[in-house]
Amino acid sequence: MDSNIIVDRLIVHVLDISVGTPVLANLEYNLDSNIKEYIENHILKIFKDIDLKKVYFKNDDNNIKKNCLVLKNKKEDFVDVSKDIASMIYFFINQNPDIPSADLVCTLFEKDGCEYFGILKFNYKESYIHFIQEDDGGRDVRIIKQKTALPTTSQKIDECIIINMNDLSILLKEKKYEIDGEKQLYLSKKILQSTEVLSDKEKVDIINKASKKVVKKYCNDDVTKMAEIRNAMAKSFEDSSTINIEEIGDKVFTGNLEIQKIYAEEIEKQGLKEKSVTVNENVEKRINKKQRLVTDDGIEIKLPTSYMTRKDKVEFVTNIDGTISILLKNINEIKDK
């Protein structure tokens, strides 16, 4: 396990709507090695999650911010602070049945020398276990459904709030649930009342969506042009860990200032205002390294994106009758997979 993470304090509260009231612990969790590893593993996954976004409290009149300021000065109030936050979250999810019940794990931990307050919502998942019952008639083994199972070590948690105790900045992962008849993000809007920020995943998805729209409308849906954009995104990230939108537009639409402008405007229209986007290294998986082509008669071809613009590897030939042939070149071996 990553030695840069040190869990100092931990407490677990039960926010199960079916119980009718929050079950709030009065004692901190006495960590054994297995549970410590379980919590540390989930914290590591959170920091690497491409759905994570950095937000800030909008004002001082916020219950969680006030509790963090108390905790910053008095670590011994950890239990009371966690209970107050758990009660507040329970009250809200109790009023909105679409939000799932959960165990709320509150923890003070250190990562890379920085102290954080974690509010981790372990939403319940269904699982099955065996149950052995013995009586005079013999032994009976049954399979029982568990409705309050927690995420396994290999699974990600859906919702969490990680607060930097130095500057009170927030790392947030959240999901939309139905509130007042529409899908909403309740953690940022209702609980934290924080600034609105896109996650790294959302930023890359916007660039991809806008790119497809512009290529379809202004480049006759040219698959090689889409490959050029993806290659430019990958190269930009490789060089600087950022995706520079202006550089991508200049490189892909060289000499065409009108389309470069349309491309930048389309990305902004989709909700991404930044010209250069700094993203987490784990977002690289969202920059497609392979391009999937599907013909009108259902044939699928998956090619490395970098090959799409290399005529020594792939060539698209327009035939006299208007149909297209795809020529794959310089192949040493073909395997059945």
Judge whether residue 107 has pLDDT over 50: yes
**Residue position matching structure tokens 């896109």:** 198
User: How much of the chain, in percent, has pLDDT values that exceed 90?
Assistant: 46
pLDDT in tens, 262-319: 999 999 999 898 888 877 776 666 666 677 778 888 888 887 777 777 778 888 888 8
pLDDT at 2: 47
Determine the angle formed by the axes of helices 200-218 and 257-269, rounding to 10 degrees.
140
Give CA–CA dist 180/188, Å, rounded. Answer: 16
Q: 81 φ, ψ to 5°? A: -60, -45
Higher-scoring residue by pLDDT: 31, 100: 100
Helix axes 223-240, 200-218, angle to 10 degrees: 150
Would you list the domain boundaries of the chain? 5-196, 201-328
Q: How confident is the model at residue 332 (pLDDT cuts 50, 70, 90)?
A: confident
User: What pLDDT is attached to residue 26?
Assistant: 94
Task: Assign 115 a pLDDT band (cuts: 50, 70, 90).
Answer: very high
Residue 23: predicted pLDDT: 95
Say which amino acid occupies 2: D
CA 289 → CA 3, 153, 180, 183, 305, distances in Å? Answer: 32, 28, 41, 32, 5
Tens-place pLDDT, residues 315-328: 888 888 878 888 88
